[in-house]
Amino acid sequence: MHPDSKTHSKLLNPTIDSLLSSLHQNNDSDSLYIIPEFFKESNLNSTSNLQISKKHAFNFLLNEDYKISSSQPYILQIAEAIAEAIDKIISLSNLYLNHDKLSYEAGKVLAEILYTNPTLNYLDLSSKRLCNGAGQGIAMVLCNNNTLTNLHLEENYLGDEAGIALAEALSENITLVKLNLKNNLLSNKAGTELAEALSKNATLTNLCLGGNNLGELAMKELIEALYNNMTLTNLDLSNSRLNGSAIKALVEALSKNTTLTNLDLSNNKLDKSAKQTLAKTLCKNTTLTNLNLKNNNLAETAGKALAEVLCKNTTLTNLDLSDNNLGESVGKALAETICKNTTLTNLDLSHNKLGETAGKLG
């Protein structure tokens, strides 16, 4: 019996159990060809059975315990069989496949099958070890699909080729509202194309690009795209080595952009000039409500500048200043500021060596 069968025994009928058991025991391509026929069974028409069957079929493909690897000749047959099975589920609207392995071949086949899916609106392929081939296939999905609104590709190995393909698709797509490309080995080439796409796209509201090495120039162009963008509300540029001309562009963007409400700049190790410039800009910005500056080594000077900002800013409700080596003097300044600020509801000052002032901030 399939290891997951006991968990869902009330939903699985004998036909499903038999198939899963066969797959688990044999691990050969002949048994895998049963899958498409299996989905044609009249007693599998219920939504619950189809969803459970889909989940188990994918678990079989993704579970490393079955010792299936891309070096075995029938891995592509496995991917094709399961992809064809998915195609039978025409009402598929949400597909979660995060935090498992998806082979290179399976990724491409999955992208091809999703290309013709008329109802998919949420796709999560995070942490799948996807490479550029699968990424380019998913870009094709974006070009053709007019229902997909959320696409999560965090923690993969897409690289610039896939990044460029996704950027080009983003220029044409009119439905996607959230795109997560964090930690995908993207560099300046992909960054430049994404900047151009952002200046053209009129539907995207959430963009996550943290953990990539886009480079100063591409980052500058990306931020400049915010000047005229009227839809983006959430931007994640965490762990992006943000400094220099990119920070200057960000300062300019924050003074002009009127839609961005959530900005994540954590883990950027901002230089001295960047810290002070950013602090001054926040005095003028009237739209940001959530700002993450965690782990940027702000230290005393920038910390006090931010304390002054909080005296004047009337829009920020959430501010993360944790892990910034602020020290006791900044803690005291913030304690005085909080008494005057009437909008800030959440302030994270953990791991800052505030000393006795920490109690006054509680």
Query: Is 357 within the bounds of a domain?
Result: yes
CA–CA distance, 70 with 77 (Å, rounded to integer): 11
CA–CA distance, 326 with 302 (Å, rounded to integer): 9
Share of the chain above pLDDT 70, in %: 66
Give 189 or 21, the one with higher predicted confidence: 189
Query: Is 256 within the bounds of a domain?
Result: no
Q: What is the pLDDT of residues 294-323, one digit of tens each?
A: 999 998 889 999 998 888 888 999 999 999
Domain span at 300? 265-362
From 236, 252, 279, the end of a domain falls on 236
Number of domains in the chain: 3
**In a shared domain, residues 151 and 219:** yes
Rounded mean pLDDT of the chain? 77
Q: Would you say residue 65 has pLDDT above 60?
A: no
Query: Is 247 within the bounds of a domain?
Result: no
Helices (H), 173-283: 188-200, 216-224, 245-256, 272-282
**In a shared domain, residues 95 and 192:** yes
**In a shared domain, residues 282 and 361:** yes
Query: Is 258 within the bounds of a domain?
Result: no
Q: What is the pLDDT of residues 243-275, one digit of tens each?
A: 889 998 998 899 888 999 999 999 998 888 888
Query: Is 259 within the bounds of a domain?
Result: no
**In a shared domain, residues 176 and 283:** no
Cβ neighbours around 107 below 10 Å, total: 23
**In a shared domain, residues 231 and 103:** yes
Query: Is 106 within the bounds of a domain?
Result: yes
Average confidence (pLDDT) over 107-118 = 66
Average confidence (pLDDT) over 336-346 = 89
**In a shared domain, residues 109 and 166:** yes
DSSP character at residue 35: H
Answer whether 263's CB lies under 8 Å from 291's CB. yes
Q: Please, what's the b/e burial string for 8-38 (b: 16 or more CB within 10 A of its CB; e: otherwise)? A: beeebeeebbebbebbbeebeeebbeebbeb
**In a shared domain, residues 130 and 220:** yes
Backbone dihedral angles phi then psi of residue 197, each to the nearest 5 degrees? -65, -40
Confidence of residue 292 (pLDDT cuts 50, 70, 90): very high
**In a shared domain, residues 58 and 95:** no
Highest average pLDDT, of 66-75, 140-149, 287-296, comes from: 287-296
Supply the CATH number for residue 302's domain: 3.80.10.10
Q: What is the pLDDT of residues 123-163, one digit of tens each?
A: 888 887 788 888 888 898 888 888 899 999 999 999 999 99
From 47, 81, 115, the end of a domain falls on 81
Sheet holding 318-320, edge to edge: 94-96, 122-124, 150-152, 178-180, 206-208, 234-236, 262-264, 290-292, 318-320, 346-348
**In a shared domain, residues 77 and 122:** no
Average confidence (pLDDT) over 276-294 = 89
Query: Is 252 within the bounds of a domain?
Result: no
Query: Is 143 within the bounds of a domain?
Result: yes
Cβ neighbours around 104 below 10 Å, total: 18
Given this model, what pLDDT does residue 236 score?
98
**In a shared domain, residues 51 and 154:** no
Coil vs helix vs strand at 205: coil
**In a shared domain, residues 28 and 69:** yes
**In a shared domain, residues 99 and 230:** yes
